[in-house]
Amino acid sequence: MIRTLKRLLMIAALALLIFYLAVYVVYANNLIQFPFDYDQGEGFELVDTILFSRGEFPYKDTNVYPFYSSNYPPLYHVILVPFVWLFGEGYWYGRLAGFVATLIAAGAIAYAVNREGKHRMAAVLSGLAFLASNTVYHIGPLFRQHMTMVMFETLAVVILANVNEIEDQGKRRRVLMTGLAFVLAAGYTKQLAVATAAAVFVFLFIRQPRRAVVSGIVFALIGGAIFLWMNIATNGQWWLQTITANVNPFHPEQTVALFQLWFGLHGFLIVPAVLYLLYELYFTRVSIFAIWFVAGVAVAVLSGKWGAGDSYFATSIAALCILSGLFAAKTLRREWVNFRINLYTRLFVLPLWRVANRIAGVGVLIIPLLYLGYGRAVLHMPTEGAVFSTIADVFDLQATAHGTFYDSAYRFVGGYADIGHLTTQADIDAGWRIVDILRSTDKPVLSEEAAFNLLAGKEVITNPTQLLNLAQQGIFDSSGLIGMIERQEFGYVVMRAQFYPMDVLQTIAVYYDVIERVAMNGFEYIIFEPRPEPLIAQHHR
């Protein structure tokens, strides 16, 4: 009876997570075909890639025309350079790269759980759980570098997990070098990978201090040499734009809200992950996965920075999927360790041991229920379409995002579920409407999203969020840009989120007037043209 019930529950859990995989594939396919910015900033990632394809660094002086710079490391964009050479400017290959990166990360998670836990079903559920996360779903198929960083981090940790147990010195050295190369790749994909680098070297130092110190010195020399070369080659702009500019204002309430979101969505896996961490701490020895999880949670505190968000939790999600998968594997195989009772174990370990044994007794049922609970917590799906509308009707799901999509993340922090829905032909038509407007002028265009300029054959001018990053720290001289606005040198200005520095926004309001508002992708794009008479002149008259 229990065996039959376990099998049915496992099938149900597997089917639910496969359903989320199908939703993810539909979403990725939809975005890959969308020719405009879906998430604000995607276009500037494309511009970075285009600049690299021309042999140029995107780390430029933002005080001079075209007032553009990137604030991200180069590797993600460099990887995509061959696509620019072969296919020209486009969003599809960056989004495809992000989607594939999440699949590779999920495969690495499943591989780690199967290798360490020796349970295939637990491994499959762990990999699918990663892809089912709302956070991973939201950002995976975007033209953004975050999930590529997580892919490199996951590969590095999985490769290095058992490096110290390799007896053959040559093989051990090769594995160590490969793992550290992935750590370095993660760091030069996005700065947040510093947490994984710290976790890796803490783990190596605990196991083999001398080897960790030697490899750490080599790692630092290589990473530092690349950093120094790039800083010299860009006349110091690399440091200014990627390090200094990223020290943004911190909002504690945003961190608290995002941690609530993280636990509300992933709590069914966080609890067993923490239990497995405690098990390692008391019974065996701490694994690299446990240290990585702690590091991932620690770096998520930075999600309170301006410009940050739930993507900062992606590393911790990868780690908790591995730890919870190992918990599931050990429970299903009934391999929890027994031990001798003494004063220490009676005071500190016995309570955990009793819980573990009880869980082991009914674990064959608890584990699939945990994954079913997780599947319910992360529920996200379109509410329109032949199949999805039927499911929505059966379960009485009402759209929470853009009128066409149900997203459980929306009930925690609504602002972080503005992505995930599918785009429509109406969105594409609206985008081309904006492009047609921009094509009607011979002047340059100031647009808050790069796609319109690229498709209209216009030079991309500024990266508004980067200008705001610099302005908040008092290291952006806006006089050049403001002078062009005052002279009405831009044929049009296009804004959506109004992320430009305040003095720039105020100047636009004086010298430009709204001529049209275009609804696209759930947002309102505001088109400005030069005023025949600036407001300041009207005021003085």
pLDDT, one tens digit per residue, over 347-373 is 555 665 666 556 556 777 899 999 999
| Complete DSSP assignment for 91-110 | SHHHHHHHHHHHHHHHHHHH
Cβ atoms within 10 Å, residue 284: 9
The answer to whether residues 257 and 392 belong to one domain is: no
Same domain, 363 and 243: yes
- Establish if 85 belongs to a structural domain: no
- Asked whether residue 84 is assigned to any structural domain, the reply reads no
Alpha helices in 378-423, H assignment, sequence order: 386-394
User: In terms of domains, do 435 and 486 share one?
Assistant: yes
Residue 346 shares a structural domain with residue 405: no
Domain co-membership, 23 together with 167: yes
Last residue of a domain, one of 391, 417, 443: 417
The whole-angstrom separation of Cα 325 and Cα 450 is: 41
If asked whether residues 189 and 319 sit together in one domain, one would say yes
Least confident of 64-73, 197-206, 355-364, 401-410: 355-364
pLDDT value at residue 541: 44
Residue 79 domain-assigned (yes or no): no
Whose structure tokens read 């940790």? 157
Residue 314, both tokens: 């992606």
Q: What is the pLDDT of residue 446?
A: 98
**Residue 277 domain flag:** yes
Question: Which residues constitute the domain of residue 501?
Answer: 35-72+424-541
Residues 165 and 56 in one domain: no
Q: What is the pLDDT of residues 275-300, one digit of tens each?
A: 999 988 877 889 999 999 999 999 99
* pLDDT tens-digit readout, 487-526: 999 999 999 989 999 999 999 999 999 999 999 998 999 9
Distances (CA, A) of 80 to 64, 95, 242: 27, 11, 20
Q: Are residues 471 and 398 in the same domain?
A: no
Q: Is residue 82 domain-resident?
A: no
Cα four-point dihedral sign 40, 41, 44, 48 = negative
Considering the domain architecture, whether residues 395 and 317 belong to the same structural domain is answered as: no
DSSP state of 333: T
Residue 86 within a domain: no
Q: What pLDDT score was predicted for residue 539? A: 43
The neighbour count for residue 57, using CB atoms within 10 Å, is: 18
- For residues 147 and 240, state if they share a domain: yes
Cis peptide before 249 (omega within 30 of 0): no
At CB < 8 A and 24+ separation, what contacts does 155-158 make?
155/104, 155/105, 155/108, 155/182, 156/180, 156/182, 156/183, 156/186, 156/196, 156/200, 157/112, 157/196, 157/199, 157/200, 157/288, 157/289, 157/292, 157/319, 158/108, 158/109, 158/111, 158/112
- Residue 462 and residue 318 share a domain: no
Distance CA 185, CA 182 (A): 5
What's the predicted TM-score (pTM) here? 0.94
| Domain-located, residue 530 | yes
Residue 141 has pLDDT above 90, yes or no: yes
Instruction: Put residue 463 in one of left, alpha, beta given phi > 0 → left and psi -120 to 50 → alpha.
Output: beta
Number of domains observed in the structure of the chain: 3
* 83 falls within a domain: no
Q: Is residue 26 domain-shared with residue 160, that is, in the same domain?
A: yes
